[in-house]
Amino acid sequence: MNTPLSRRAFLGSAAAATLAAAGSSAEIPKSSGQARLFPGCCAYSYAQYLSNGRMTMEDFIRRAVELGLHGVDMTVYWMKSKEPAYLLSLRELAFRNGLPFSGTAIRASTVEPDAAKRAGILEDIKSWVDATAVLGAPHIRVFAGKLPDGATLQQGIAWTVEIMKRACDYSAKHGIVLGLDVHAGITQRAADCLEILRQVDSPYAGINLDIGNFLGDTEDERLTQVEMCAPYATHTHIKHWYPAGGPAIDLDRVWRIFAHAGYKGYMSAEWEPHVKGDAAATGVPSLVEEIKTLCRKYSTA
């Protein structure tokens, strides 16, 4: 992942919001560090297989080794439990196969108007911080989510900041970074993601930069927002297609953005279930091969 930058220096300016509103191309200063880009994959790519029992998380680890990946993002939906014995068995299997965990991905969503429920969400995140520490992973993807009826964007941001601040204070004790996911809801515009990070103001907060979920009428608008957030990316989700439809994503352009930002971390394949084709047989392997090729092209590692 990236070395934490001065959030107050960049995020405190109005430039990010202005660029997002205008849809103009953001000129991000090139990082002094060289990009280190590693091919990865998130377990969600095999959602259909994991959901129907045709694959286990152990199978996913073995498949990742077969695909020649450098790390895997463990979507926790299909974990049997948070029990240490189970988590340690996954950790040992990955270690025996020379495969690091790039992180975990949890269901918790922070846009919640009820204070008691927000407290429960915080406790859920803390419990997954504990589990992720046992697993030996350095990062957790966290959702913000969609606004409930009648709520404002400012309220959603405030609820998210409240939870993320406390969650980051806790995760810092374990050396685990929380990556706010670019997902359906209040994190689909770069300016709002950056505002949340500005207010959380923690080196243990970042962006799980899903390249396909920003809103915009054109690919330029969407990828400009990827460019704005790339310096704060702590993990990525890479896909071929925008979930809401549209043309295939120009992945070479995406890699140029991350290389220019000096990103250091995993480019994690996320095969979407709605895309036609068999994920296991052709979908994930083809996406992974493209990711590996681009990592070789743009990474110094």
- pTM metric for this prediction: 0.90
Is 226 contained in some domain? yes
* 32-46, 61-75, 140-154, 192-206: range with lowest mean pLDDT: 32-46
- Enclosing domain of residue 273: 7-20+31-298
Q: What is the C-alpha separation between 120 and 114, in angstroms, rounded?
A: 10
Give me the CATH number covering residue 239: 3.20.20.150
User: Does position 211 have pLDDT exceeding 60, yes or no?
Assistant: yes
**DSSP sequence for 14-48:** SHHHHHHHHTPPP-PPPPSSPPEEEEEEEGGGGHH
User: Does position 17 have pLDDT exceeding 50, yes or no?
Assistant: no
Max Cα distance, the chain (Å): 51
Number of neighbours of residue 272 by Cβ within 10 angstroms: 17
Q: What's the DSSP call for residue 76?
A: G
Is 212 contained in some domain? yes
Is 2 contained in some domain? no
Query: For 197-244, where are the E strands, in sequence order?
Result: 205-210, 233-238
Is 288 contained in some domain? yes
User: Does position 269 have pLDDT exceeding 70, yes or no?
Assistant: yes
Q: What is the C-alpha separation between 167 and 248, in angstroms, rounded?
A: 36
As for how many domains the chain has, the answer is 1
Is 41 contained in some domain? yes
